[in-house]
Amino acid sequence: MRRPRGVAAAIVLALTLSVSYGIAQILYWQQPEITSPLPWMRVWLLPETEPFKVTRVLLMVGWSVATLLALVLVLSRRAALPSALLTDPPPGPPTAVPAGGNERSRARTVRVCQFGILGALVLPYSWMALDALVEYPLTLLVCLPTTTAALLILHRVQFYRRMPVRLLLIGFGWGVLVGDGFGSVMVTWFQRYAAGYLLDWQHPRDMIRRLYTLLALNTGLFSELGKAVGVAVLLLLFRRHIDNVVSGVVIGAAVGLGANLPETVRYMALIDPGQESTQFWMRQVVGLPAAHVAFTAVVGAGFGAARQLSGRRDRLLVAASGLVAAVGGRFAAASMDPQLGKWKEELFSDNQTLILLLGVPLTMVLTSGLYVVVYMVILRRGLAIQAAELAPALRAEAETGSGTITAPEVELLLSPLRRFLLELRVWRRDGTAGLRLLTRLHQAQLALVCARPSTPELHQLRQRIRGLKGLPKITEAPNTPSAPSAAQAGPAVPPTQEVLS
C-alpha cells in the first residue's frame, strides 16, 4: 500500500507546476503593451492557439476539482476525530464501537481524494500533446516503431532487478502527456509576454539576442522541470522499485523518451513539414538516446543516487544537482542550435546528404554527447554494483539447499549474456510461453535474494519459485528467516534452465 506521506509530497510537487503556470499568467497580464510596427515583431503578437486556449480552461477546471477534493479531505479528517473530543460522553459504562469498517472506508476516501487532486493538477497539460498526436496520426505511427524499440531496450538493460513494465509505461506516459504538455505551455507563455518586457529600440540587435537566449533558458528550465517532477512523483509513489541509480536512470530515460515522441510529431508535421525525413532522422534515430532521454536520465540518476543516501541534506543536494545539470544541458543545446545549423551548412556546403549523415550526429555529440556518456557510465557502474551485491546473496541462498536457487544457477543469474542466450534457446524450443516462464523464474530468483529477511514476502517468493520449477511446495512459517533443509525441501529436481545451460 502506498504511503499517504508519499502521495502528499507528490501533490506538493505537482503544485510547483501550477505555481509556475500562475506566475507566467501574471507576467502576461502585467506586460507593457507592444506597439512596434516592425513585421518581425508579429511573432510575439500571434493569437492564442486552440490547444493553448483549451489547456487554460482545463487548468481552471482542474484547480477547481482539486480544491473541492481538498475540502472533502478536510471534512473527512474532522469527521474522523473521536467523538469524545467533540461532545460529552453518554452516561453509563463505555461500550465498544467497531471502527474497522469506518477506518477502511476513511482510508479509501483519503486515497481517492489524494490521487484525484494529483490527477486534476497535472492532467490538463496533456491536451497540448494530445492535440498534436491526434491531429497527425500517420506521423505518430511512423515514430512508434523506434520509440517502442527504445522502450524495450530500457526494459532489457535492467540486467538484474527489473521494475514492473507498468511502471516503465507510466513514466513514458508522464513524459508524453505532462512533460511535453507543460513545457509547451510554458514556452507559449514566454512567447506571449517576453517581448513586452525586453523591448529596447536603441539596441535592437542586443534585444533580439536577449529574447532568444531567454527563450532557450525558459525552454530548458520548464521542459526539464515538467519531466523531473514526473520522475520525483514516481519515486515517491513507487519507492520500492526506484531505489538505486540503475532504476533512476531507466525511469528518467523513459520519461524523456515519452517527451520526445509528441515533440517529434510536432516538428515533422507542424513546425518543419518540408523536412520530415530530416526531423525523423535527427529525433527518432540518431538523437533518440540523446537530448530528452539523456537529460532526464541524468535527473533520474540524481534521484536514484539520493535514494541511497541517509542524510536529508545530502539527498536534496544530489537530487537538485541532477536537475540543475539537465536544465543547463538543455539550455546550452537550445542556445547552440541556431549557430550549429549555420555551421553545418557552411561546413558541408549545403550538401543535404552529408548534413544528414555527418552533420546531425556531430550536432548531437556537441549538444548532448557528454550527457549520453555520463548516464551510460552511471548505468554501467550501477549494474556492476548490483552484481557485486547479488553474488554473495545468491551463493548463500544456493547453500541452503532449499531448491529455489542451485549452484549452477548462481553463475547463470550473474551473467546477463548467458541468460539472454538461454532465453533465445528456450524461445526457439518452447515459444513465447516457455520464454515467459523462464523470465518469471529468473526475476523471482533475483527478487528473492533482494527481499528483506524475516518477511512474508520471502516465504511467498520461495513458494513461487518452487512452483515455477515444478517442485513441491514447502511448509514454512512466513516469518521464519532460515531456509528449509534439503530433506524438507524434497529431491533436488534440476530445472530446464540447468539442462540447457
- Segments making up each domain of the chain, as ranges: 126-386, 400-500
Q: Of 161, 91, 114, which Cα lies nearest the Cα of 13?
A: 114
**Sign, CA torsion 469/475/478/484:** negative
Confidence band (pLDDT; 50, 70, 90) for 494? very low
Of 431 and 47, the one with more pLDDT: 431
Give the pLDDT confidence score for residue 448 in this predicted structure.
86
Helices (H) and strands (E) in the chain, counts: 20, 0
Query: Does the pLDDT at position 69 exceed 90?
Result: yes
Mind listing the pLDDT tens digit for each residue in 258-305?
A: 999 999 999 999 888 888 888 999 999 998 999 899 999 999 999 999
pLDDT at 90: 54
pLDDT digits (tens, 9 = 90+) for 308-348: 888 889 999 999 999 999 999 999 999 888 888 888 888 88
Q: What is the four-CA torsion angle of 43, 46, 51, 55, rounded to 10 degrees?
A: 100
How far is residue 244's CA from residue 174's CA, in Å, rounded to a whole number?
Answer: 20
Looking up cell 515519452 gives 258
How far is 157 from 383, CA to CA, in rounded Å?
Answer: 9
Amino acid at 366: L
